[in-house]
A and B are shown apart, each in its own frame.
Chain A
Amino acid sequence: MDTRDPMDRLSSAYSTSVDPETQQRHIAEVSAAIRTAPAVPVPAGFGLRRRLAAAVAAIFIVAPAGMAIAAEDAVPGDVLYPVKEITERVRSYVGNDVKATHRVEEVERLVFLRAPSHAVERAVERAESATVLLPDSGELRLRLELARERLQQQDEERQEPAGDGSGDGRQESGSNAETTGPGSGPGTTEPSGSNGSSEQSQERPGATTGTTLGQGRADQGSGDASGPMSGPGEASPTTAPRNSGESSQS
């Protein structure tokens, strides 16, 4: 019997060579197949698969990012408002004032857009409930207060349907912002300033000067170049706030 190593026997038993005739026939058939094969374009350089991946990435990364940015200005009722709520929930993990700021901004925006009063009122309610939770929401409360005053004025304008156009009304609201504008100076420093600003307009003609009012006037004086020059006479309470308000607006 066979005494060679089995692995050597494997080689000798199965080594096969295709005879030249068959080779020629095979090569001819392969050539024929090449000629009839459908042309497959080879994607050059930037491969097809990579291009596909880029497109998918664009859809799943760029689009949501753009949507989130676009949703920043959304107010309740907008198409993108749910997106804003989602981003808000995520961002509230970082800072807890995002929610309240958004709510107040929405009220301001709705007032600016002259939205129907029931929508604005609902937004004001939500803004109040959001600012209550914050420890230091003085500025936000003040902004909310201002927006609410504007809203009242708008309501009054609506109630008296006089012949004056909308341009006139805007002028009215502008002047209102001037009178309440100086109040925001002290308001930013102390949270109780919102009450003081509303009382300011009534108290100003009188000679009585509260502590908050005095602070406000001192701020305006430092802002104004002519403040120290003019004495603490009776003319400054009426003129100084006007000037400073206009300068801050422009």
Chain B
Amino acid sequence: MNGIRTRSETAFATAYRYTSDPLASFANGMVHDARFAEDAVQQAFLELVQSAPRIKGDGRSLRAWLFRSVRFTCLDELRRRSRRPEQLSAEVPEVGVEPDLPPGFDVDPDLSAAMAQLTPHQRTILVLKHVVGMDGNEIAEVVGGNRVSVYAANRRAEQRLRTLLDGTTEDGG
């Protein structure tokens, strides 16, 4: 953490290797765009270079800081895409699903259609919990609020996602 504050290049490289995959997964879950996810991770680290001396706390808070940065980048991107509806695909009105997904990227079309109907906040919590694997406290550090409010929001989001998926498939179990 001191290496980050003093902008040591090796410290940044280590932090990048440890966090780039979870960050990219998070961004991908938010915007559903693998290429944008990589850019968002890069963006977060470039911002970190600027504000590294002002970050307080340990590695855990650094991780939360990076996720917050990616979260804001994704929310900006979602707003930007919703303002330009021509980029959106027909079946998902709010969020853009890239028509040309990278080859080899296994997408679950039903799931992404359902995810697209959730609010960005619900999606954030679901992705952080089930894709990144954060616990309630960590999620609260990223999105604000406390553990209890995160649990409540997560329960609502899970319910909504299940109902949405039940509309398209049989009972998921």
Contact = CB atoms under 8 A, between A and B. Distances in A.
A197 B143 CA distance: 84
A229 interface: no
Contacts of B119: none
A3 B46 CA distance: 41
Given A7-B158, A11-B130, A16-B28, A27 B172 contact: no
A42 B52 CA distance: 10
A141 B111 CA distance: 95
A16 B21 contact: yes
Given A18-B21, A34-B9, A6 B170 contact: no
Contacts of B130: 7-8, 10-11
A14 B7 contact: no
Interface string A6-39: 1111111111111000110011011101100100
Contacts of A5: 172-173
A22 B170 contact: no
B108 A9 contact: yes
Nearest to B32: A14
B172 A6 contact: yes
Contacts of B24: 16-18
A14 B127 contact: yes
Contact of A6 (B53, B131, B162): B162
Contacts of B169: 1-2
Interface in A28-82: 29-31, 33-34, 37, 40, 42
A26 B20 contact: yes
Interface of A: 1-18, 22-23, 26-27, 29-31, 33-34, 37, 40, 42
